[in-house]
Chains A and B, each alone.
Chain A
Amino acid sequence: MHGSHATGSPYAPHTAEDRTAMLEAVGAATVEDLFDIPSDVQFEGSFDIDARTERETRRLVRSILGRNDHLTELLGRGHYGYYIPSLVDHLADRSEFLTSYTQYQPEVSQGFLQALFEYQSLLVELTGLEVANCSMYDAATALGEAATLADRVRDTTGHRVLVPDLLREERRSTLENYVAGTALDVETYPVDDGNVDLTGLEATVDEDVVMIYAENPTVRGTIEEQLAAVGELATANEALFVLGSDPIALSLLERPADVGADVVVGDASVLGLPTSYGMGLGLFATREDYLRQVPGRLVGASEDATDRRAFTLTLQTREQHIRRERATSNICTNQAWVALRTAMHAAVLGPSGMVDLAERDVRRARDLADRLDDIVGVKAPVHDRYHLREFVARVDQPARAVADDLEDLGFAVHVVGDHGIQVCVAGVSDDRIDRFVEALEEVTR
């Protein structure tokens, strides 16, 4: 066994004898001699970080995170905490999955490549588009990549990217950073009662538009009813129609390919990740026409020397490590392990499980809205629409105070304007929803 590591890295395995032998082999007296750092930039100070045992470190993290309140989160808006089957944690945590790297040597990476190929296939079925990559960072960065794709593939010139004026500010801001190096400008089109205002959109679209973005469901949880018309408008103006969604919504709602979507983006971590302070998995699927302009990694099928089917990263000449400044994206490290978890979660649910989950949320959101609507001083939902899993309710009292009072009772909701609260049923148990109804009754009394 190796010696004590009281003062060194506990994960560096050298004994004093090893060190001596190795230094001798390289012809150095001390390890310090190996550092070729001019004296004026050598660091002589301390970070003031004490080393801890593993147990002490766990206690430290637990105590820091212990200050988080236990709340039932009815927050949604693109980040959901669905129940994750135990199989996902146990198998995704197998160390070969967790401790491997990008599959640059496919012959020893078949398992991960196949899992990613299966993930891509899941997205192909969900979107109806022919090509899906094996991850972006999250929905917002995938939207940014969609805009730069539109900039590359559009035949005619143009600089306008249209997004709904009701969009998470974070997504819009991320998009603006992604297009900052292009000539594209992000502009908005109007939304009416939570959904695309088609007349308003028509009025702003012209041949200078390279991309129209819409979401289904919307940030307010409403289901869009005129997506095919948006698709036609985009086609008529030679703009890309980019649709934002997620795998649970896509299990049930209209297939993006059927409404003319050219690109589907969104957050796929709705399956596979718990609420993790916004960590995500950017979904990116598109039509085969744009295959060679797709950002990110693609896994393809091929054959090995025994003519058996085998998988490999492919079309890498699009990627930054080969194409450098002419790459389709700068992405390198992506969200591969999250994609694995998403594929696993989807596999456990199966198609009927996914559809059931989506349908159940539609019903649960509607039922909750009905119950809230029965409370005096509450009207729900505010938007006269179909809802997937979240909706806005009007409260007569100041919404901020209602939300604060709810938080004191253990529930987190969004505030919308002066008199709106937005609630989401995804991942929340029926029992907790019952208590939430009671809590809202109490705080609006």
Chain B
Amino acid sequence: MTADRSDDSDPAQSRYDQARYVEDGEYEPLLSEKDQTRVEIGAASDAGDDDSTSPLPDDLTRDSLELPELSEPELARHYTRLSQMIYGIDSGPYPLGSCTMKYNPKFTEDVAALPSAAVHPDRSEASVQGTLGLLYRLQDYLARIGGMDAVTLQPPAGAAGEFVGIRVAAAYHEHNGEGHRDEVIVPESAHGTNFATAALGGYDVVSLPSDDEGRVDLDALEAALSEQTAALMLTNPNTLGLFERDITEIAEMVHDVGGLLYYDGANLNALLGRARPGDMGFDVMHYNVHKTFATPHGGGGPGAGPVGVAEELAPFLPAPRVRERDEQSKAGEPIYERFDPEHTIGKVHGFDGNWLVLIKAFAYIARLGDAGLSDASASAVLNANYLAEQIEYDVPYGPFHHEFVASAGEQDAADVAKRMLDYGVHPPTTKWPEIVPEALMTEPTEVESKDTLDRLAAAFNAVAGEDDDTLADAPERTTARRIDQTSAARTPRLSWQALEDES
């Protein structure tokens, strides 16, 4: 992957090219196209069962298993080639709004790979004091950062954290004889997960429009709130990158009708060390530790979505949590134990969530400390405002925190994104939130340098000047050219078996 920097005076000419492997006219073949081996099973004989015969009777086993069987060198090349056909944050800027794609420090991989981290979840408390100790410290860090009283680390992703928040809210209302509350209010600019989570929790979703400045419309909120309101799910700053300045009033309004205020932590990176959801009146929040605390997104996961709550909700958190016992060990060290909160909703994961991700989040927070965390939000906010200023697309609303939403105007935002790929950068999130027409939702994060932001802006601006035909033909320099997503959905082929059936 070499970037052509021959013309440094025009950053838009900076190129990033991925590898493209072509064999027999097709891109890198599937493993199944390189080899398929059928193993016959169930050759049990009455003569007993040495290693060549099945140790189980025929009627309990399958007949055969057919999968590729390649040598390790062949596999190493296959996966190396696949990796060279992927754009990651280590490849270049990744300004996907609301996804907070930061550079991931490498050392966190090493600490997660420590042999002492590899423990079974069913081990005795006494034998996993290290794991429990790290979980306890991370609970504590997150509580302080969010201004919350109690934290569970169990949810394996942000949406899972939302679900825990909603289940905890439901249990709390139920416990207080308020089980009739059946509505959750969600601003129309909110993440899709908020709507889906509220629905999964059994709630009717009440959509809340924004005001002319892109923030919560207090009159609309007033109209939406009632004795039926279980919670308002809000993110602050919101997905337009705007701080909800009326947050204290919003919290009062929600609390006045007996509802709870839920904080979607997807945008917490903008607030680190500057403001805390707990101080703003939020009762429940989730943390996307894979976003805010720079743990790798792994092509779509695993993440982790710890949930913090105010004191009155703590008894409803999932079981188990970790606490410090009153007495110490003989060596004078604290002793940790698991416990079930008094009115716990039970489990939301078969074990204890995504432990390896939690280790990385802990290491990241411990590395940065107060000063680093608050510098992260400062740099993220500076970067967003700077980039918003440099691009020629219209950027409505403002002032911005860590992200902004530009409008592609007459151009199609999805086409703009495809064309940006040709300039060697990853495009922003497109077509959402729908409040801004042809939205380009952009979040540079704190890890991009001024130089990179200038090149990113140059890519935006180069595309802004291009005609629709050029955009419609893009991308032309990527591994694969524009992919037909309509046909993929119309004729779903979801496995190599489906491709074989077709041919």
Contacts and interface: CB of A to CB of B under 8 A. Distances in A.
Interface string A84-116: 010101011111111111111111111110111
Contacts of A67: 129-130, 133, 333
B192 A324 contact: yes
A301 to B, nearest CB: 4
Given A49-B144, A103-B299, A112-B82, A73 B245 contact: no
A67 B319 CA distance: 23
Interface stretch (A203-211, A233-241, A348-356, A437-445): A348-356
B367 A35 contact: no
Nearest to B69: A350
Contacts of B49: 363
B350 A168 contact: yes
B201 interface: yes
A67 B381 CA distance: 40
Nearest to B109: A93
Interface string A104-132: 11111111101111101110111000111
B159 A277 contact: no
A332 interface: yes
B124 interface: yes
Contacts of A277: 117, 119-121, 128, 131, 351-352, 355
Contacts of A97: 82-83, 86, 88, 298-299
A103 to B, nearest CB: 7
B350 A95 contact: no
B484 A304 contact: yes
B469 to A, nearest CB: 13
Interface string B405-430: 00000000000011001000011010
A180 B61 contact: no
Given A57-B367, A350-B68, 14 more contacts: A8-B375, A22-B450, A43-B276, A61-B362, A98-B298, A116-B299, A171-B350, A301-B498, A309-B27, A331-B159, A335-B301, A350-B67, A351-B67, A355-B41
B349 A174 contact: yes
B353 A278 contact: yes
15 contacts: A40-B248, A65-B117, A68-B119, A68-B131, A73-B123, A101-B99, A111-B86, A117-B495, A181-B201, A181-B202, A278-B351, A325-B199, A350-B70, A352-B69, A359-B55
A280 B281 CA distance: 35
A292 to B, nearest CB: 9
Nearest to A256: B62
Given A180-B202, A348-B72, A305 B481 contact: yes
A57 B107 contact: yes
Interface string B49-80: 10100111101111101111110100110111
A184 to B, nearest CB: 11
A337 interface: yes
Interface string A28-63: 100110111110111100111111111001101110
Interface residues of A, number: 188
Contacts of B59: 225, 254
A274 interface: yes
Contacts of B78: 347
Interface in A288-323: 291, 297-306, 308-312, 314-317, 319-323
B79 A141 contact: no
A135 interface: yes
Contact of B65 (A105, A118, A354, A363): A354
A132 B202 CA distance: 26
B485 A223 contact: no
B26 interface: yes
B242 to A, nearest CB: 8
A354 B86 CA distance: 29
B111 interface: yes
Contact of A340 (B54, B122, B299): B299
A170 B303 CA distance: 20
A138 B481 contact: no
A416 interface: no
Contacts of B349: 137-138, 140-141, 170, 174, 278
